[in-house]
Amino acid sequence: MKPFISTLEEENITIDRLPVEILQINIGHLCNLACLHCHVEAGPNKKENMEAETVDRIIDLLKKSETIHTLDLTGGAPELNPHFRRLVIAATNMGKRVIDRCNLTVLYQKGQEDTAEFLKDNKVHIVASLPCYSLKNVEQQRGRGVFQKSIDALIRLNELGYGKENSDLKLDLVYNPLGAHLPPSQSELSIRYKQELYDLFGIQFNHLLTITNMPIKRFLHDLERSNQYESYMELLTNSFNPLAAEGVMCRNLVSVSWDGKIYDCDFNQMLDLRHSENPPTIWDIYSFDELAERSIFFDNHCYACTAGSGSSCSGAVIDKTEEVIHG
Ligand code: SF4
Ligand code: SF4
């Protein structure tokens, strides 16, 4: 496989950082599910969870930022962290857009009975994973019983006003392929998702985000077990798209781990990839804005972000007309 860096050089592509606009926090690896494709290897027995003083530090740093407009909370299931709500309220009071990457089923966990109302009251943008509108495909990837709970949660969120036309309560769904292939066209699949979910369950949502499976952690182990690693990497490298490369999400995002380390993205975080031997943590910086000067650590897993229409936490990077839709 040609190294990702060599492909960038051959294509004469330089990917520089832009001002930091999105702060993505991986608040912990605790999750009520243990999905097959999970790049975090999250699960119910995980102990990594952000503590109060780390949350306090993030709130302080967020107050100092002049460029960050979005706090993107991921995990694990972010809602299971005891400091989740405090962080949401603090960021909302600062006027930041807050995203909760919600697995939907967590809303039915003990102690989470009022989480949907909490998200609504704080106008949190919900980005919910639902890899298919069919029970069989969802449960193959996420486990038994997940589909019906996810559908029930979506109906409940709709009842609260989420995902409705003209509502300011945003509900996006995330699709990722079931196996070792690229997602289909985001705009075309979105039409099908909207139609099927509405016809079958009366469910409405705002946008569908298609995300390419990252060949790391649990999905990597699955590829290796099924002897598909080589062919999947070949697919990703052969599908390299220079336009998608120019729009990768790490240009305007920084990612912070549960213990306060700083990375270019959640994937680099899970691989513990950083440039220097003593890279800064949240305790070493004055403001997140100073990170705009740093170079990005690229490696071969980055092919997953640049294949086909590209892939980011906001879905495809370019649409069918080859227009960049996310930077
Ligand atoms: S993919 Fe999401 S819902 Fe599934 S185990 Fe990982 S963090 Fe949990
Ligand atoms: S995996 Fe690579 S290209 Fe994708 S966001 Fe992370 S650093 Fe950027």
Cα(2) to centroid(ligand 2), Å? 17
Nearest CA residue ID for atom 3, ligand 1: 103
Q: Which domains does the chain have, with CATH numbers?
A: 19-214+249-295 (3.20.20.70)
- Contact in structure between 260 and 56 (CB atoms under 8 Å): no
Cα(182) to centroid(ligand 1), Å? 20
Nearest CA residue ID for atom 7, ligand 1: 76
Mutate to test the pocket of ligand 2, among 22, 213, 301 (most ligand atoms within 8 A of CB): 301
pLDDT at 325: 52
Cα(204) to centroid(ligand 2), Å? 31
**Nearest one of 132, 204, 130, 219 to 161, comparing CA atoms:** 204
Separation CA 219–CA 101 (nearest Å): 19
| pLDDT of residue 293 exceeding 90 | no
The per-residue pLDDT for range 164-223, each reduced to its tens digit, is: 989 999 999 999 998 899 999 999 999 999 999 999 999 999 999 999 999 999 999 999
Average pLDDT of the residues in 93-113: 97
276: confidence class by pLDDT, cuts 50, 70, 90: confident
Nearest CA residue ID for atom 6, ligand 1: 38
Nearest CA residue ID for atom 1, ligand 2: 302
Average pLDDT of the residues in 224-243: 97
